[in-house]
Amino acid sequence: RLNRAGELRKPSRELLQVIALSSTISSASHGTFDITMQPLWTVWAHAQAESAARDVYADRATRIRSHVHTRATACEKWLPLWRVLVATQQELSELRQRVSLARHGNIVRMRLMYAAELEAVPEKERERLLMVLATMVSFEALDQMRNGYNLSIEACETAWYEMFDRILPKAP
């Protein structure tokens, strides 16, 4: 129940003792042993919900605009957490899995958003196209655009929109 709900209503005395001992061990191990992952997974779930595909059945321009706005907003908001997750993913296999799932989720959303355009692309090329598009709208790309080139979030969205419009084939 703790992992599912993030809380326990009436924990036993024994469980409270285990949690207290775990906290002591976490401090003594300088965080190597850490039982406080629940807040991270709660934040993760919230971030995924904010990134849901919108305007899936709209016209091409609206879909692209909606996608790049949603993606830029999520990347801007969650970039600090993403940096930590990527930097520490080798220390915890579950973090590696979450990073991989987030990257895969971006591709799944694009398959949904651009199904009509992707239909016109042979399967092998389609996967490469999705890989390039996913890289183009990655956290790392937004970080470079914002901090490396000092672009505003609006300028990043405009650049992404223009590139998607150029790269994606027109729907048949």
Q: What is the pLDDT of residues 117-143, one digit of tens each?
A: 999 999 999 999 999 999 999 999 999
Q: How far apart are CA 32 and CA 26, in angstroms?
A: 6
What mean pLDDT do residues 89-117 have?
88
Q: What is the pLDDT of residues 17-30, one digit of tens each?
A: 777 777 777 777 66
Tell me, what's the pLDDT at 43?
Answer: 62
- 62 vs 48 pLDDT, higher one: 62
Q: How far apart are CA 25 and CA 84, in angstroms?
A: 22
